[in-house]
Amino acid sequence: MTRTSVVPSTRIAEFPALEHVTYLNSGSAGPLSRAAADALTAALHEEYTRGRADAASWTAFLDSRVGLRAALAELVGCAAPEVALTHHTTEGLNIALWGLDWAPGEHIALTSLEHDAGIAAVNTLAVRHGLSVDVAEIGLGGVEETLAGIEEVMRRRPRMLMISHVAYSTGAVLPLREVARIAHAHDCLVVVDGAQAVGAIEVDVTALDVDAYSFNGYKWLCGPEGSGGLVVRERLHERIRPSHGGAFGVSFAGAQLGEPASTPPLPGAERYESGSWFRPQLRGLQAAVDWYQGRVAEGGGPRHISAIAAHTVRRLERELGAVIHTPDGPQRSGLVAFSLPDRDSRAVVAQLESVGVIIRSIPGSGHLRVSCAAFTTEEDITALIAALSAPSDQSPV
């Protein structure tokens, strides 16, 4: 056990992938936990050996959706009827963004630190409906620059703002509570990309007072790909409307063929779900959330992550003279963005991978990015520093 760490010594048993690599890129995809893999495998085996059309397996499937929504609600601080199950962050963002009745010429805003997924979602919507896209310039995501950028963009009167909770490129935890206050004062809804936040920092959607919040299970929660959740606050269920219908999202109680209004959306956020599921994936995400909550209960999770990220920053600065691009203090997440004088970031990533240390570089800025997760130890950071200190055959850039 390490000084900053509440990572159990069983971590390789919990994450077999850690036996082979120093895993510092959960921001792209976390290692699949044994808990999630076991649940996935068991569910798949049941389907394979017993079939999946009998009443018992159908009921178990429906129950697993209910249980998972409740678990996700507890994880992100909202009520279970405010959670829809999705397949990834992008799906949830699209559901929320398309939920308004947009008219040509209206404005939608996003920040200058968004991931390609959110940019693509906003741009696609804007082209389809003839909207103007306004960009809030927020620098590296520091509090003052972010709030100034949001104030400025509100002058264009956007109906929605799409903003990350944690900026994927700089690792800044953006000040969502204040952002929501400003946006709401301008009658603008706030849709959050939580891909880099859930499983890395504390998330309380109710306290943040944002309107919609989308996230996935395969990064910081170390669950399966193809799993995620979307929160839409209850007060907005009639305003952010479903764009796609499906048997899982509407009520058939009074259904009459040819009467569109006779299959109204279900009462809660379930209305945003549509068709059937790969059932093992739901069970895998449930196991991943249970694992993560267990870690939080032991004093791990966000507290450990921010301590190990602070440790990483200190060592990068002191031992390698790195320039850190992640804001300090409460704005620090599990992501540490930095650059090394005279080193090409893509070459550094390749050099590290050749010795089993996995990080990534950020296109555009050329910064390097390390992900400190719930399982990361100081030994991992020692391996990182050693790999970065090793002579490279790269000529200076």
365: which 2 tokens? 């800025």
- Give whichever of 89 and 326 is closer to ligand PLP, judged by the CB atom: 89
Q: Are strands 357-358 and 22-23 parallel, antiparallel or unpaired?
A: parallel
Residue whose structure tokens are 């990572």 = 7
Task: Check residue 90 for interaction with ligand PLP (CB under 6 A).
Answer: yes
**Which residue in 23, 138, 183, 193 binds ligand PLP (CB under 6 A)?**
193
- Stretch touching ligand PLP by CB under 6 A, among 88-96, 176-184, 308-316, 371-379: 88-96
Sketch the per residue contact string, 216 through 245, with ligand PLP: x for CB under 6 A, - otherwise.
x-----------x-----------------
How many residues touch ligand PLP under the rule CB under 6 A: the total is 14
Q: In what order do the strands lie in the sheet with 368-371?
A: 323-324, 335-339, 368-371, 360-361
Span 319-358, contacts to ligand PLP by CB under 6 A: none
Nearest to 72 by CA among 58, 59, 60, 84: 84
Task: Check residue 117 for interaction with ligand PLP (CB under 6 A).
Answer: yes
Please, what is the end-to-end C-alpha distance for the chain in angstroms? 39
Element (H, E) at 247: none
Residue 53: what residue type?
Answer: A
- Give whichever of 170 and 377 is closer to ligand PLP, judged by the CB atom: 170
Sketch the per residue contact string, 17 through 36, with ligand PLP: x for CB under 6 A, - otherwise.
-----------x--------
Span 131-190, contacts to ligand PLP by CB under 6 A: 164, 168
CB of residue 33 to ligand PLP, shortest distance in Å: 17
Nearest to 85 by CA among 374, 302, 292, 289: 289
Task: Check residue 88 for interaction with ligand PLP (CB under 6 A).
Answer: yes
- Please, what is the angle between helix 143-154 and helix 176-185, to 10°? 20
207 vs 230: CA distance, rounded Å: 16
- Stretch touching ligand PLP by CB under 6 A, among 15-23, 87-95, 266-274, 285-293: 87-95
- Give whichever of 228 and 266 is closer to ligand PLP, judged by the CB atom: 228
**Which residue in 35, 195, 203, 230 binds ligand PLP (CB under 6 A)?**
195
83 vs 40: CA distance, rounded Å: 22
According to DSSP, the residues that pair with 8 across neighbouring strands are none
- Give whichever of 202 and 225 is closer to ligand PLP, judged by the CB atom: 225
Which alpha helices (DSSP H) does the chain contain, by range? 11-14, 34-50, 55-76, 89-97, 116-129, 143-154, 176-185, 205-208, 279-297, 302-320, 345-354, 378-389
CB of residue 211 to ligand PLP, shortest distance in Å: 17
Answer yes or no: are the C-beta atoms of 231 and 82 closer than 8 Å.
yes
- Give whichever of 22 and 196 is closer to ligand PLP, judged by the CB atom: 196
**Which residue in 22, 89, 339, 371 binds ligand PLP (CB under 6 A)?**
89
Nearest to 230 by CA among 331, 107, 97: 97
CB of residue 278 to ligand PLP, shortest distance in Å: 15
Task: Check residue 360 for interaction with ligand PLP (CB under 6 A).
Answer: no
Task: Check residue 94 for interaction with ligand PLP (CB under 6 A).
Answer: no
**Which residue in 34, 69, 107, 115 binds ligand PLP (CB under 6 A)?**
115
Chain positions contacting ligand PLP, by CB under 6 A: 28, 88-90, 115, 117-118, 164, 168, 193, 195-196, 216, 228
